Structure formats: structure tokens, C-alpha cells
Amino acid sequence: AQSVTQLDSQVPVFEEAPVELRCNYSSSVSVYLFWYVQYPNQGLQLLLKYLSGSTLVESINGFEAEFNKSQTSFHLRKPSVHISDTAEYFCAVSEIVGGGKLIFGQGTELSVKP
């Protein structure tokens, strides 16, 4: 069975500051890794994913995440955040052979202040 641990439940940060949202996973088999974002009163949207190849993956709005197999981590980073990045961020894992179901972490609430 897989599990996902997001190490910070809340991350307050000032606008234009860098941010890192931490994610560790546990699995006995190979996995795919995802970050989803949830804005207030909305469903989740895919932010970025790691399937294979380069361990550094990027989103269109400046976020990036690096897959580290030895540390079983998939931390999300952004060098300079905007007010509009305020949302809840979820790390998720899916077994490569598993029917596509995602197991989510508890979520990290990113609050960007002016």
C-alpha cells in the first residue's frame, strides 16, 4: 500500500518570496507522482506530474517539483509566489500498475500575504 505525507499543513509566506511545500511518499512498488491545487470552493486541478525521465518537472505557472527516489520525496517549489497562488496543494501517488487510482496527502494550505 502507498501513503503520502505532506510535512506542513500550513505555509504562510509573503508575496515574491520563495516557497517549498514538502511531500514524502511510501510505496513498495514504482509510482507516479502528482501535485494538485485546490482553490476555494473548487475541485482539484492537476499542477504537475512525474511519470518518468527527467526528475525535475515544471508547471506552466512557475512551480517545479523534483522527484528524489532515494529520499522518496517530491517537494514542490516556486522561486517567487503571487497572491493568486494562495490555495491548498495536494501531493498524490499512483502505482504504475494500479488502475490509475490516486492516494492523496493531507494537503498544505499556502497563504500568500502582501
The least distance separating another protein from the CB of residue 56, rounded to whole angstroms, comes to 18
Residues 15-34 interacting with another protein (rule: CB under 8 A): 32
Cβ 28 to another protein shortest distance, Å = 17
**Which cell numbers hold the place of 77?**
517549489
Residue 101 CB, shortest distance to another protein, in Å, is 5
Q: Are 75 and 89 in contact (CB under 8 A)?
A: no
Among 52, 54, 60, 114, binds another protein (CB under 8 A): 52
**Count of residues for the chain?**
114
The torsion angles phi and psi of 68, rounded to 5 degrees, stand at -120, 100
Among 28, 41, 54, 70, contact with another protein (rule: CB under 8 A)? 41
Residue 6: count other Cβ atoms within 10 Å of its Cβ.
20
Task: Give the ranges where the chain is alpha helix by DSSP (H).
Answer: none
Binding site for another protein (CB under 8 A): 32, 36, 41-46, 49, 51-52, 90, 94, 96, 99-107
